[in-house]
Every structure is written in C-alpha cells, then in structure tokens.
Chain A
Amino acid sequence: MSGEASAHSFVPTYPELKPSYVEGILYTTMNLFNARKDVEYYEFGVFNAEWEKVPFAMQNKIMRVKHLEKKKIDIYIREKDKQEVVYICSKSKLIIAGASKTSVSSRVCSKVK
C-alpha cells in the first residue's frame, strides 16, 4: 500500500441537510481533503437521482484547495428542493500540461440522507 500520496476524499458519505440561519434554506457541511499534487481546484455540484443539476449555493462553486489541505465546505439548498437532492459531488479540475499522457479526473459523490 502506498498510502494517500495522491488522494481525493470527500466526506461524510451520507450528509444530512439541517436548517440554516436563513428561513427556507437548508445546509450541510462537507469536508474535502486534497492530497493530489496535480490538482489545486475542485468543482462542486448537487444532483437529483437522474443526475440532473439541483440549484445550490456556496462560497465558490470552484474552490482552490491546496495540496494536503483539508477544507470545510458549507452547501446551501432551498428547502423546497430538499426532496430532489440526492448527490453532492466534488470533482477535481485538471491543469492541461504534459505530453502524450492520460490524466485522471476524480469525482467523489456523497448521498444525502
């Protein structure tokens, strides 16, 4: 085993939506860990069971997460969309560089309870 030398994790696996300080808005806190040296930016998305986008708000939908940095991310969803929300995902954004190589785009998705 080589350890988590170049890893992408996004937890919790089953987040819960909780009421926020704004009426009619729910939120959940996710934790992202970036141990990928080749990735500095992650994109976030919220989806329904058919993988269609569900509107959500957060500080930045594409966020810089430096190598070996852990970041807490609050994701806000309208209460009326609560039944729609199934997946919350983080996806690595790749920098175009290198020659004749394949790189790996990683995406980790949690399932809302």
Chain B
Amino acid sequence: MKKLFILLSTLGLAASINAEEMEVVGNVASKCVVIPDTAGIYGNPTADVLSTDPSDGGVDPVVRFDVIQASMYKAKISYPIEFSESPTLNDIVNWTGSVGTSQVSDTSMSGYDAAKIEFDNVTEFSLTVAGSTWFKTESQADYGYGKAFPGGVYRAVVSAECIAI
C-alpha cells in the first residue's frame, strides 16, 4: 500500500485523489458612496455677482454618487443659501441655483432630471439605477440692489446627502 501511494505521488495522482470541491461565497450589499468630484469656484463677472457658471468665470461643483444596487437610496443635493466664509456683509444676498445630472454611467439614468423633485434650495433624485451619477450644482449670489461685494474670501457649502429609502 505504501509503495502504491509513493508511486501515485510520483505520478502526481495522490493530490487528485484527495481533492475536494471548494465553494467561493460572495455577498453584494447595497451601498452608497458620495464622492466630491470637482471643487466649485465662484467667478465675479460683475461687482455685485458671484457665480459658479463657467460663462461667468466660475466652476460648477460636481458630486458623484455611486450606488451598488438600484432603488435603495435617494440623492438630496442643496445649493448654498449662505456663505460659510465671507467679509462682513451689511445687505441682503439673493441666492439662486439649480442641480442636475452632468454625467451618467448608465443611459437609463437619463430620466433622473425629468423625475427630480425641487423644493427651496433642495433637489431630490431617486437613484433607481445601479452605477455612478455625477450631479452638477450651479449657484449664484447677487448682493443687495446692484451693490458691489466687498473684497475678500467667499466660501459656500454644497450639501450632498445619500439617504436609504
């Protein structure tokens, strides 16, 4: 028997006699990842306006949402309605803005803009397709009635939320 085993080992058959099937198990859990993609910059096309619009010299901030499974999350994105940092302002700032898709990883996401829900400065999108969606946020701040913004640093925050449904 021992001689037989040595012979089989030499021929490389012993291992195949003892081989067992092995199972590989995986689990794909739902997940949402929020990824700031492009930092926004305010352009100052006229003295009383700060705008992220590229035609005004600004850059629209872009946030990417990745979802692994469809219809598990909604995206809730808010354009700013106040500065998080600015010089002292003694007049009202009027804010306008909008949020929309700028790029999608799946063509069936093209309906997101038509189905979006807007209220106040908030826009909600149901993430009904698995994959990546890039959302662009435009915002504009108008100071007083044609008043010039005082010199200094202006900073605002876009809020990007991914909420399980």
Q: Which residues of A contact B (CB under 8 A)?
A: 1-2, 4-9, 11-14, 35-36, 38, 87, 94, 96, 98-111
Interface membership of B81, Cβ < 8 A: no
B148: chain A residues at CB < 8 Å are none
A39 to chain B, nearest CB (A): 9
Interface string of B78-121 (1 = CB under 8 A from A): 00100011000000000000000000010000000000000000
Query: Which residues of chain B are near A6, meaning CB under 8 Å?
Result: 35-37
Cβ of A108 and Cβ of B34 under 8 Å apart? yes
Determine the distance from Cα of A38 to Cα of B163 in the docked complex, in whole angstroms. 22
Q: Are B84 and A96 in contact (CB under 8 A)?
A: yes
Contact A102 B41 (CB under 8 A): yes
In-complex Cβ contact of A111 among B31, B35, B159, B164 (8 A): B164
Which A residues touch B44, using CB under 8 A? Answer: 100
| Additional A-B contact list (4), CB under 8 Å, known A4-B35, A101-B40 | A4-B66, A8-B34, A35-B35, A100-B44
Decide: A104 near B36, CB < 8 A? Known: A1-B132, A13-B30.
yes
Instruction: Mark out the residues of chain B between 129 and 165 whose CB falls within 8 Å of any chain A CB in the assembled complex.
Output: 132, 137, 139, 153-165
Cβ of B29 < 8 Å from any Cβ of A? yes
Q: What are some 8 contacts across the A-B interface (CB < 8 A)?
A: A12-B29, A13-B72, A36-B36, A96-B85, A101-B41, A102-B139, A108-B163, A109-B164
Q: Is the CB of B161 within 8 A of A107?
A: yes
**Given B66, B154, B161, which contacts A106 in the complex, CB threshold below 8 Å?**
B161
Scoring B residues 3 to 41 as 1 if CB is less than 8 Å from chain A, else 0, what string do you get?
000000000000000000000000001111111110111
Report the separation of the CA atoms of residues A24 and B149 in the bound assembly, to the nearest whole angstrom. 56
- Is B49 among interface residues, defined by CB-CB distance under 8 A? no
Residues of A with C-beta under 8 A to B72: 13
| CB proximity of B39 to chain A, nearest CB, Å | 6
B160 touches which one: A101, A105, A111 (CB < 8 A)? A105
A108-B32 contact, Cβ under 8 Å, with A13-B73, A102-B41: yes
Distance in Å: Cβ of B135 to nearest Cβ of chain A: 10
Report A84 CB to chain B, min CB distance, Å: 17
The chain A residue with its CB closest to the CB of B36 is: A104
A108 touches which one: B29, B80, B132, B162 (CB < 8 A)?
B162
